[in-house]
Chains A and B, each alone.
Chain A
Amino acid sequence: MFDFFKGFGVTFSTMFRKVVTEEYPEDFPPAAPRYHGRHQLNRHPDGLEKCVGCELCAWACPADAIYVEGGDNTEEERYSPGERYGAIYQINYLRCIGCGLCIEACPTRSLTMTNFYELADDNRQDLIYTKEQLLAPLLPGMEAPPHPMRLGEDEQDYYVLGPQLARASAAGEQVANDPVGEQVR
């Protein structure tokens, strides 16, 4: 007889505790700041891709989720500074375990992870994300590649002073830094 009340006691006391249930998908709570969410392929401040197609992410991946094929940049058709760019870039989110080894391996900080976690679908094909889906959006002041390296006189300027030069040119055009750009930085 006592056990009966003991059982309901648990139910009753829980009614006054803080609720841990997330109201997803109606409510959309942010993930932890360093959450390993969907990947992003970043861009240089002028819009060129940072990926050089070196495939180190694919090599680092323990789940073999990444496929990269490099291509040659030419003076007429330049996607990234330097000689090579990632012509084909795919991440298979059916395989990705979100370990983040790929972003540690990336020598250009091209590949990073965002906080986006809605990675579910009803078919396999759509879960293989291609380069177009993974590339960071073009921010104001960026230009979609292919185009030549826009910032600075030489490669040294481009890599070392690129962000400053981009800010300077944006300020010169009297365009205020937009909140989205600030957030990304």
Chain B
Amino acid sequence: MSLSPEKTDARPVPEGYVRLTIDGLEVDAPKGEILIRTCERLGIIVPRFCDHPLLDPAGACRQCLVEVEMGGRLMPKPQASCTMTVADGMVVKTQHTSPVADKAQQGVMEMLLINHPLDCPICDKGGECPLQNQAMSNGRTDSRFVDPKRTFPKPLPISTQVLLDRERCILCQRCTRFSEQIAGDPFIDLLERGADQQIGVAADKPFQSYFSGNTIQICPVGALTSAAYRFRARPFDLVSTPGVCEHCASGCEQRNDTRRGTVMRRLAGNDPEVNEEWTCDKGRFAFRYLTSKERIVRPMVRGADGRLAETSWTNGLRVAAEGLLAARSSGGIGVLPGGRLTVEDAYAYAKFARVAAHTNDIDFRARPHSGEELDFLAAHVVGTGPEILDYTRLEAAPAVLCVAFEPEEESPIVFLRLRKAARKHGQKVFHLGQWTTPAVRRTATSTGVASPAARDNLIRAVPGAEAAVLAELAETAPHVIEALTGGGVILVGERAAEVPGLYSAVAALAQRTGAAVGWVPRRAGDRGALEAGAVPTLLPGGRPVTDAAARAEIERAWGLAAGTIPATPGRDTDDILGAAAMGELAALVVGGVDPDDLADPAAARSALREAGFLVSIELHASAVTEVADVVLPVAPDAQRAGSYLNWEGRRREFGVALDASGVLPDCRVLDTLAVEMDVDLFTQTPAAAAGDLARLGRFAGTAPPGPAAQPARTRTPAYGQAVLATWRQLVDESSLAIDEPALAGTARPAQVRVNAATAERLGLTEGLLATVRTERGSITLPVAAADLPDGVVWLPANSAGSRVRVALGVGHGELVGVSAAGGAAGAADGNGDTA
């Protein structure tokens, strides 16, 4: 007997579609669609565990069995709907209409539950568990299994962060498929066979992935848990608030789950246009800084005895305002907001600098920077948005070139998109860098982990010579130019500022190939601060300071007298600090700036010490608050609303997740401080600040010309020297990842990397210690081989035992001495001594 009902729909089947019947309903589905998705679109939910829309089909759990009839013939057994593509004339009966499918599903569920412990009441997943839910909806009420269940010692640490309870696992392979397909670091895999089959890790290789937290989130049972959240709360304890990740410029949507006034965990939100369903481990696990003991909760003023003492807001603001007013008339005020601000806060800083401090001396860049960078940002970045370049366009591009940008370390979600594009449609991802990093290898078009063809996508450059390499690309690597022409994308990172001429070379290459340019800073606030005008050369909305009409427009909008805003560009971060040290600037207002992030930490620290009057607007006790005259505390992200602009220029709004009584956002603090200085910023709340900024609109005039800097000469290492290449790793000593030992345990090891020839020349042995030194200090770390150019040494910029700028005082592209540290006594502690 045929299951086919009478054909009822006479419409022709559209091109590229097939017509099938599910539970008696006729439906047109695009060719190649998986049956379970077609059911979903009809509102028919077939139970499943292994199926995930972003992972390749596996058919591992067999829970989604349905009855299928093809060409009038019933298939002999129920079929897994998550692996079967739709076909014309197919007739499908799910558990709703077919007793056979229903019985098959119940049988599978009974099998899955044979070894699954009945510890739902004390399991973290209980309450949000697909197995629990579907056992209730599609399982039998009783089990016929009477023997003892299989047990394992629990838990198995997959890494310091991810713990595995193997007896709960139903072997759906979501985690292993995620690691292999999405992240590309398959350290977690199926071991053993038959009844002993289990998930595990290679004994000598820990599950060291920046994306391991996603496996916890997609685990359909409570088998994978995180050390940070395990047994801390249950889903029904938690209050969930949508949020946005503050750790990098990717702009991931997140979910903050809070309980009893603290954030218990953070999950990736589902935003298909940005982070899909993923987020990196730093974004997921680094949130304890919110409740750190180092948090400043009360304003502090330095008394006559030279000590900071807690005081009232009224007094703190009065002292700050008096000091700033005195400084304004006796030299001027420099403003360093830092790169972690929301757009609203950055706008408050920008307006504060112009309206209250009467200066353009404001620079958000708390990192090595250059004037060329400002020109580049003004010409190519400010005012752009997702309509020009976004994740979708990035994914669809035939070729992408990453310049001074290590996607996995500096913007992990961009990396996942690049990897997805390379894997799914053969996007060519080129990296202008020094060595075949894990990200370079995993964005190679071939999905193989270590294929020799992978090296094709690395354009090797000696540090400092990147600009010259880009300029000569047409001769040395014409295939890159060819690939970029016609819809290519160039992603340039903030580290380009460390290489003179690189931004100019990028702009030139973009012009030549017609490629879109994306600027991907490392910090979440950089892009927004640029747009909000926290820059010495730009006013809010990308208006050049030197443009009289633009200045007049802003003065009108802010209700200022004509000519209040200085017509000359202000100083940048280094110059502001230099001027403060020399006494040219009488006061500094400093936000979240860590002097150790700047090009010369020692000089920055001494400048802060010597600044006449220092107001620190900070979250935690820091190197700045140590020497500040007034410290004003501000609210962290969880206790405030606001928005970030991610690297696309997309506005990412978030609301208050935790009780925010008693803490104020930066914009409110600055507004009140300005009122004490007798001006009004109208940024009392983030909403007010956002409205004020939106009313200004964008600059309507022509953008200034781009940068035209010449590449610098590369340095040639002498005997015993090498050129330093360095960038930051995702999980390192960053200040927002404090108090997270489990996360820190998943950091990549800090190693000195050289190639074999250089190692031989410098007398280094792989695995033994090497010392990298300058006259300022040294760093001693184990040596690891990498395919760097000759005479180049690589160090992680801010990892444990390798804080390059602090210890060595130099950066990317400069010369360092390298030697084996075998005999050197006391040099093996791994910490750079700054003596």
Contact = CB atoms under 8 A, between A and B. Distances in A.
Nearest to B122: A54
A84 interface: yes
Nearest to B227: A72
Nearest to A105: B121
Interface string A44-80: 0000000011111001000000000010000000000
A65 B59 CA distance: 47
A157 interface: no
B232 A54 contact: no
Contact of B231 (A59, A84, A105, A107): A84
A53 B232 CA distance: 9
Contacts of A143: none
A132 interface: no
A71 B121 CA distance: 18
Q: Which of A53, A55, A70, A107 has the most CB of B within 10 A?
A: A55
A126 interface: no
Contact of A53 (B155, B231, B234): B231
A54 B230 CA distance: 11
A56 B231 contact: no
B239 to A, nearest CB: 16
A107 B122 contact: yes
Q: Which of B119, B155, B231 has the most CB of A within 10 A?
A: B231
Nearest to A52: B122
A59 B234 CA distance: 10
Interface in B215-263: 230-232, 234, 236-237
B232 A70 contact: yes
Interface in B461-495: none
Contacts of A52: 122
Contacts of B121: 54, 56, 105, 107
Interface string B787-825: 000000000000000000000000000000000000000
A164 B392 CA distance: 66
A125 to B, nearest CB: 20
Contacts of A54: 121-122, 231
A80 B234 CA distance: 21
B122 A70 contact: no
Nearest to B154: A83
A107 B122 CA distance: 8
Q: Is the interface of A mostly helix, strand, loop or mixed?
A: loop
A70 B231 CA distance: 8
B122 A83 contact: no
Contacts of B119: 107
A56 B233 CA distance: 11
A12 B388 CA distance: 102
Nearest to B123: A54
B232 A56 contact: no
A59 B232 CA distance: 14
A85 B325 CA distance: 56
Contacts of A53: 231
Contacts of A59: 234, 236
A52 B231 CA distance: 10
A52 B123 CA distance: 12
Interface string A85-97: 0000000000000
A42 B546 CA distance: 77
Nearest to B236: A59
A105 B231 CA distance: 17
A54 B119 CA distance: 11
A53 B234 CA distance: 12
Nearest to A56: B121
Contacts of B155: 83
B125 to A, nearest CB: 14
A70 B119 CA distance: 17
A148 B231 CA distance: 21
Q: Which of B119, B155, B232 has the most CB of A within 10 A?
A: B232
A83 B119 CA distance: 15
A158 to B, nearest CB: 13
Contacts of A107: 119, 121-122
A83 B122 CA distance: 12
A84 B231 CA distance: 8
Interface string B88-126: 000000000000000000000000000000010110000
A55 B237 CA distance: 10
Nearest to B163: A83
A53 B233 CA distance: 10
B675 to A, nearest CB: 42
A2 to B, nearest CB: 68
B262 to A, nearest CB: 11
Nearest to A82: B154
A59 B259 CA distance: 14
A70 B124 CA distance: 13
A55 B236 CA distance: 12
Nearest to A155: B153
Interface in B117-162: 119, 121-122, 155
Interface string A105-147: 1010000000000000000000000000000000000000000
B158 to A, nearest CB: 16
B153 to A, nearest CB: 8
Nearest to B153: A155
A55 B121 CA distance: 10
Interface string B15-45: 0000000000000000000000000000000
Contacts of B237: 55
Contacts of B234: 55, 59
Contacts of A84: 231
A53 B230 CA distance: 12
A55 B231 CA distance: 10
A84 B121 CA distance: 15
B104 to A, nearest CB: 33
Contacts of A105: 121
A60 to B, nearest CB: 10
Q: Which of B121, B234, B236 has the most CB of A within 10 A?
A: B121
A51 B119 CA distance: 16
Interface in A6-50: none
Contacts of A70: 231-232
Contacts of B231: 53-54, 70, 83-84
A180 B231 CA distance: 35
A53 to B, nearest CB: 7
Contacts of A56: 121-122
Nearest to B119: A107
Nearest to B233: A55
B238 to A, nearest CB: 13
A83 B229 CA distance: 13
A105 B121 CA distance: 9
A58 to B, nearest CB: 9
A53 B236 CA distance: 16
Q: Which of A52, A54, A56 has the most CB of B within 10 A?
A: A54
Contacts of A83: 155, 230-231
A141 to B, nearest CB: 28
B151 to A, nearest CB: 9
A134 to B, nearest CB: 20
Contacts of B236: 59
A142 to B, nearest CB: 25
A105 B236 CA distance: 16
A48 to B, nearest CB: 17
A130 B92 CA distance: 60
A52 B119 CA distance: 13
Nearest to B260: A69
Interface of B: 119, 121-122, 155, 230-232, 234, 236-237
21 contacts: A52-B122, A53-B231, A54-B121, A54-B122, A54-B231, A55-B234, A55-B237, A56-B121, A56-B122, A59-B234, A59-B236, A70-B231, A70-B232, A83-B155, A83-B230, A83-B231, A84-B231, A105-B121, A107-B119, A107-B121, A107-B122
* 9 A-B pairs with the lowest CB-CB distances in the bound complex, closest first: A54-B122, A84-B231, A56-B121, A107-B122, A70-B231, A107-B121, A83-B231, A56-B122, A53-B231
Given A55-B234, A56-B121, A59-B236, 5 more contacts: A54-B121, A70-B232, A83-B155, A83-B231, A107-B122
